[in-house]
Amino acid sequence: MESNEVLDKLPHHLFNLIIDQPYNNYTAQDQAVWRYIMRQNVKYLPAVAHSSYLDGLKHTGISTESIPQMYGMNRILKKIGWAAVAVDGFIPPVAFMEFQAHNVLVIAADIRPVDQVLYTPAPDIIHEAAGHAPIIADEAYSDYLRDFGRAGTKAFSSKYDQKMYEAIRHLSILKADPNTASAAIEKAEAELDHLSKLQKTPSEMALLRNLHWWTVEYGLIGTVENPKIYGAGLLSSIGESHSCLKPKVKKLPYSIDAQYFSFDITTQQPQLFVTPDFNHLNSVLEQYLETMAVRKGGIESLKKALNSGETCTVEYSSGLQVSGKLSKIHEYHNEPVYLGFDGPAMLSYEGFQIEGHGIKYHKDGFGSPVGKIKGISGNIEVMSEGELSSNGIKTGDNLVLEFNSGVLVKGNLEKIFRNQGMNLVFSFRNCTVRYKDSELFRPEWGIYDMAVGEKIISAFAGPADPEAFGLKYQAPKEKTHRIKYSTETLRLHELYREVRSLREIGGNSVALEGIWQILKLEYPDEWLLPLEMAEFLKDENDELTKGIKSFLKALSKKNEEMQSLINDGLSLFINP
């Protein structure tokens, strides 16, 4: 992988998801698919896309002639503060968001098969490189992508989200492989449809993904009456980039309400949202952030953390951050009074592990009260050593701390950990902790580290210090299929290669005669290669040229889609 300054700052736990771009596996037909779509885009999109699209293609080093070598793109992307990495299809949403938060585009290395030129349900290099990359050259949009990624890394998911991700990935893998049996696709579609009907209360990540879909993927910009395209899903779909602007697709002003509109990746969208400008996107994102646990804190946020069943971080009002799997919340008058974490836990401050309080030390979990202590009028979080002592809190003494909630902590205060004037942790020996009839800590369990803090001001997904916690994203178990080509198809690819070579070196038309004889006899449904040949012969008027054009005209009558593909292809080099 060719690195740059942006990639050098990527967290190590993301690297398991990065693959080498299999550039040598792209066939000459793949290159023709790229060339066809990109040339259609350059011809059509300037009239309907956001004004930054064409300039963005230049800024990101994307050519219409060849599939980009994405790590070569990094030499150009670094000039606008971004980078690109290759991944294997859909990756987990939280990982996708984290890459984005670090100004890194994740580009699915595969390319859509020729029978999915107009639309593909799977992420591919056309969608990612030709859809996402050009618009990031716009500074306001670039800021939105980064900020959205940062929000996504903090959003709580659910077990349901994971099942949906796996089902969507599975279906997209099957659909991207032309050799997949129709029965297998139908089964995967039925399973996804069944799963989609089971969701009750959507998670933060689910709602955030809706906002992502209706902006980054399928967004329109301008006015409802005269919108332009900027969403990557539309920019990379020559079918939907045409149909989306027609009256049958409802246009709605983009607002926070878009979070409640779900989507179906397998079909074209019935409605789209229009933002007046890119700055408005960040305004809506800011509104959504205000509803998230990372901003709200309190019992509602803790319940999101608990229900997620994943590693999370809760932050006390002192600034102490506790990372682990939240397993128990004791409540009093709808306020949290004691939190319990199972398994390895970690204590941090401002995103960095506190020395001595890592997952090895807290390997069996962590538990601590939240709230005010009876008999102390001030805030112990900010008290000096002298102020604590005057309130009966002094190292070396046996203390009895009774919280307003009824939580009782008894033990010998051995140490007070402070940082930047804040009291974060009281460490006790010979300690017992009780709440009502529950014994929460016993002396024989060792040192008791009590978090200091009257409130929980934040809760978010993932550990506060991922590297210290040992966070790693595992590569998906189900891999995208490396397509197995028949002898017949491999021969067709070789014909594509020969035509491409003739175009690049400026060969003469005589060599095309033999290729044409093979094509019309053995590949009667082939449309893209005859188009490439017709382009090569556009200035000729001989029998070969007439035969190819006649073949294409007959093939275009097969169905509406074929007619559109062929006529649009011919329009690239034949004046009306």
Same domain for 565 and 531, yes or no, is: yes
Over residues 279-291, the mean pLDDT reads 97
172 belongs to a structural domain: no
pLDDT tens for 37-52 read 999 988 899 899 998 8
Which residues constitute the domain of residue 531? 487-570
Over residues 254-263, the mean pLDDT reads 95
CATH label of the domain that carries residue 227: 1.10.800.10
Q: Which helix (H) or strand (E) holds 550?
A: helix 543-556
Taking the CA atoms of residue 87, residue 88, residue 89 and residue 93 in that order, the dihedral angle to the nearest 10 degrees is -60
149 belongs to a structural domain: yes
170 belongs to a structural domain: no
293 belongs to a structural domain: no
What the block records as the tokens of 123 is 């992420």
Same domain for 271 and 354, yes or no, is: no
Considering 231, 251, 286, which residue would you say is the last residue of a domain? 286
395 belongs to a structural domain: yes
Return the percentage of the chain with pLDDT > 90, whole number. 74
Reply yes or no on whether the pLDDT at 408 is more than 90: yes
pLDDT tens for 311-369 read 999 999 999 999 999 999 999 989 999 999 998 999 999 999 999 999 999 999 999 99
315 belongs to a structural domain: yes
pLDDT tens for 143-180 read 999 999 999 999 999 999 999 999 999 998 998 888 99
352: DSSP letter: E
Burial class (CB in 10 A: 0-12, 13-18, 19+), 399: middle
What domain count does the chain have?
Answer: 3
Considering 416, 439, 469, which residue would you say is the last residue of a domain? 469
Same domain for 358 and 498, yes or no, is: no
Instruction: Characterize the bridge pairing of strands 456-461 and 250-253.
Output: unpaired
299 belongs to a structural domain: no
* pLDDT, position 71: 72
CA–CA separation, 10 and 519 (whole Å): 48
* pLDDT, position 1: 58
Higher pLDDT among residues 403 and 268, named by residue: 403
Same domain for 379 and 524, yes or no, is: no
Q: Lowest-confidence range among 12-16, 309-313, 539-543, 561-565?
A: 539-543
* pLDDT, position 196: 86
pLDDT tens for 211-246 read 999 999 999 999 999 999 999 989 988 888 889 999
CA–CA separation, 93 and 101 (whole Å): 12
Higher pLDDT among residues 378 and 508, named by residue: 378
Same domain for 220 and 355, yes or no, is: no
CA–CA separation, 349 and 176 (whole Å): 45
Same domain for 132 and 249, yes or no, is: yes
Same domain for 520 and 457, yes or no, is: no
Same domain for 333 and 430, yes or no, is: yes
Contact predicate 284/294, CB 8 Å:
no
* pLDDT, position 131: 86
Same domain for 444 and 542, yes or no, is: no
Considering 408, 439, 469, which residue would you say is the last residue of a domain? 469
Same domain for 379 and 418, yes or no, is: yes
* pLDDT, position 63: 87
Q: Lowest-confidence range among 121-135, 215-229, 249-263, 428-442?
A: 121-135
478 belongs to a structural domain: no
Q: Give buried/exposed letters for 423-439 (b at 16+ CB in 10 A, else e).
A: bbbbbbeebbbebeeee
Over residues 396-415, the mean pLDDT reads 97
Same domain for 318 and 416, yes or no, is: yes
Instruction: Return all residues near 299 (Cβ < 8 A) that are at least 6 apart.
Output: 329, 331, 334, 335, 336, 456
Same domain for 249 and 391, yes or no, is: no
* pLDDT, position 200: 75
